[in-house]
Amino acid sequence: MENYIVSARKYRPASFDTVVGQTSLTVTLKNAIKNGKLAHAYLFCGPRGVGKTTCARIFAKTINCLNPNENGEACNECESCKAFNEQRSYNIHELDAASNNSVEDIRQLIEQVRIPPQIGKYKVFIIDEVHMLSTAAFNAFLKTLEEPPHHAIFILATTEKHKLLPTILSRCQIYDFNRMKVEDIVAHLASVAAKEGITSEPAALNVIAQKADGGMRDALSIFDQVASFCGGNITYQRTIETLNVLDHEYYFKIVDFCLENKITECMLTFNEILSKGFDGQHFINGLSSHFRNLLMSRDAQTVKLIEASDDVRERYHAQAQKCEPKFIFTAMKLCNDCDLSYKQSQNRRLLVELTLIQVAQTAQGEDVPGSGRSPRKILRPIFRQIAQSNPASVVVPNTQTPSPAPSPNVAGAPAVTAVPKPQTATGHVMAPTNSQPLRRNLTGFSILNAVSDKKRQEEEVAKQKIEKVPQYDSSAATTRQLNVKDLTIELKRFALTLSQDETAMASRFNNIEPTILESGETFEVLAENPVIQSMYNKYVPKVQAFIQQSFGNPNIRMVVRLSEVTERKKVLSKFEQLQQLYKDYDALVKLQKAFGLEMN
């Protein structure tokens, strides 16, 4: 059987020029060697598989080469180079600190440091994963690292620079290795494939490069795996099968379905993806990346940020032409939100499906709540809300009871039952005390000044309505004694005269429970807070004129008093309201008995 060497070793670069994706760094090292300006300690940092150890080895070989060429590279022909290439050089010592991290290991290394090289000028000590050394080993090492013999050069390599002590960092020249670009990896893989006589599709190599996540060693390992599975012909389809990568075809399909509003097909496609064993989060992340690529492909300057083969880039570009930028933004946000809440979700499938539906809706130009595209919420004035929603049950405790029955027994007595009312029920009403905002509130003037001119005109009209007080006409009057029953009815009639803009006030007058004071010509209305009090006060002249006319008595006065806490009524539930009704009307009780009704 032929001696098989994995590609990562077989195609390990042997010179600085062949190191992939670290050009600036290798040029710097080469220049340092050419100019003879060598430091005694180097620190190579960066993710795994980006060429740290490879560079360290090339460096060791080059500085020991007896005939370096003009380019600053090793000759690969001298005795030293041959020894290096055959891995029998005594001038290079590698210590894997991950497994040899004790003081004893370091002591042995220090022993070696003292012995000068037999061939060549330098002994190079490479310590891999140097952050794994124990603290004691570090301390034992510090002295040697600071003042090594002139023939010794240390190259420390680590994936985690932040774990190193500052005392180590300050003694080294630091080189940061970058993650490799996908295109660099693809180019290298293509060259390896060519050398191995393997045919490959660029899209397949792209998938491998992306899976390797910036590490060449990983990329080459995956390449070997795929190559052996595909048997000399690496296709996109077989690559994604081997690597369990979700086909980008699905994303193109899903976006097309969304654009065509084919939600059913979206759901079926997602089901197909799940049935192939892919995770929902994996899918949604892929979809986010897809939208991101669509966005990037819209601009010639950002096209290069797409890590994909040229033909796939073309497809991104084509699909992006069909999408509104707003749709892409929103879809990205929706997918991102889905990803964020995925872990917490109890029903993850539903979450993804919901997101897909929302994306499809966005594609149709609809604003989706929570998508970040919904219209800005405008703060509505609180009184307007009360008036519109349910004037009788939210804040106004007095009006909570069913229409006050003209109760014959309480003529002149305070009609308000003294039930303590929770302070908080009115506590949340912000109460402006000056009259200007109040007048505005009456007609729905927003505190944000967000009303249209039309609204403002209506407001003016309403204002005039309030201020216009009819004169008392004695000829049309029939004098009646002021009493609670009639007064309540008259106030209801007054409520009917109010315009549509004044629904809130109309509702109040409709449900008001006035009290006639001792004089017999003055009636009192309770207001539960200063705001409502001044609202009533606005209407006093008009109400007074109305009541004077209907009772034929120009001396009738209306006063508004701020109620004591104890006078305020409890807000009743529907059930309690019903109970109150039963209490007030015997007929209802009879009805209930006659028909066998249940009270609920």
Q: Kindly list the residues in this chain that would bind Zn ion in the complex (CB under 5 A).
A: 65, 74-75, 78, 81
Nearer to Zn ion, 89 or 550 (CB): 89
**Are residues 68 and 33 in contact, defined by beta-carbon separation less than 8 angstroms?**
yes
Helix axes 280-296, 310-322, angle to 10 degrees: 80
Q: In the bound complex, what is the minimum distance in angstroms from residue 33's beta carbon to Zn ion?
A: 12
Nearer to Zn ion, 85 or 134 (CB): 85
Q: In the bound complex, what is the minimum distance in angstroms from residue 88's beta carbon to Zn ion?
A: 15
- CB-CB neighbours of 2 under 10 Å: 4
Note the residue count of the chain: 600
Helix, strand or coil, per DSSP, at residue 395: coil
**Cα separation, 366 vs 363, whole angstroms:** 7
Q: In the bound complex, what is the minimum distance in angstroms from residue 8's beta carbon to Zn ion?
A: 24
Torsions phi, psi for 81 (to 5 deg): -60, -45
Nearer to Zn ion, 85 or 221 (CB): 85
**Cα separation, 257 vs 183, whole angstroms:** 31
**Cα separation, 63 vs 59, whole angstroms:** 6
Nearer to Zn ion, 81 or 396 (CB): 81
**Cα separation, 139 vs 51, whole angstroms:** 28
Nearer to Zn ion, 119 or 591 (CB): 119
Question: Which of 263, 219, 249 has the alpha carbon at shortest distance from 48?
Answer: 219
Residues 6+ apart with CB under 8 A from 359: 258, 330, 331, 334, 335
**Are residues 135 and 166 in contact, defined by beta-carbon separation less than 8 angstroms?**
no
Nearer to Zn ion, 65 or 287 (CB): 65
Q: In the bound complex, what is the minimum distance in angstroms from residue 120's beta carbon to Zn ion?
A: 9
Q: In the bound complex, what is the minimum distance in angstroms from residue 77's beta carbon to Zn ion?
A: 6
Q: In the bound complex, what is the minimum distance in angstroms from residue 30's beta carbon to Zn ion?
A: 14
**Are residues 562 and 527 in contact, defined by beta-carbon separation less than 8 angstroms?**
yes
Rg of the chain taking only CA atoms, in angstroms: 43
Nearer to Zn ion, 75 or 165 (CB): 75
Nearer to Zn ion, 65 or 495 (CB): 65
542-562: burial string, b at 16+ Cβ within 10 Å, e else: bbbbbbbbbbebeebebebee
Q: In the bound complex, what is the minimum distance in angstroms from residue 74's beta carbon to Zn ion?
A: 5
Nearer to Zn ion, 65 or 323 (CB): 65
Q: In the bound complex, what is the minimum distance in angstroms from residue 93's beta carbon to Zn ion?
A: 19
Q: In the bound complex, what is the minimum distance in angstroms from residue 68's beta carbon to Zn ion?
A: 7
What the block records as the tokens of 211 is: 């899976």
What the block records as the tokens of 198 is: 């393997």
